[in-house]
Amino acid sequence: MPIREPYSSSLTNSEWKQIEPFLPAQKLFGRPPRYHKRDILDALFYVVRTGCAWRLLPHDFPPWRIVYYYFMVWRREGLWQKIHDSLRDLVRLRSGKKKPRRLRSSILRALKQLTTEECAVTMRAKRSWDESDTCWWIRWV
């Protein structure tokens, strides 16, 4: 790919060195990738920074379908959360703060249950005046 002028949203070399270890390694078998992962990340950060539609990516980036594919795969694998957590911990340590403690397994189970769709529907129903039987006395006061 020809060398292009970097955008303001492009990764610097030091940023790339911090993010690169989190990206999945190239598979042993199969065709080598056509586009470098750094170019894909630069395109993702361009979309986030400018707010443009996927189809309006400039032509010097990889095709929008490839960029979108990698975004969704990495999202499904939890890569963005891993990168965010590690960068947050790095910033906290550099500023002199302690690394946050991990949550206990019982709290994680409770949070997992509270984030289900069924629990969200139940909580919305409890907040509604018309659907809640426990708040009937407030209407008469």
List, for the chain, all residue ranges whose pLDDT scores fall below the cut of 70. Answer: 1-2, 100, 120, 123-141
What pLDDT is recorded for position 110? Answer: 79
What pLDDT is recorded for position 9? Answer: 87
What pLDDT is recorded for position 64? Answer: 94
- Nearest to 24, CA basis, from 79, 61, 89: 79
What pLDDT is recorded for position 128? Answer: 56
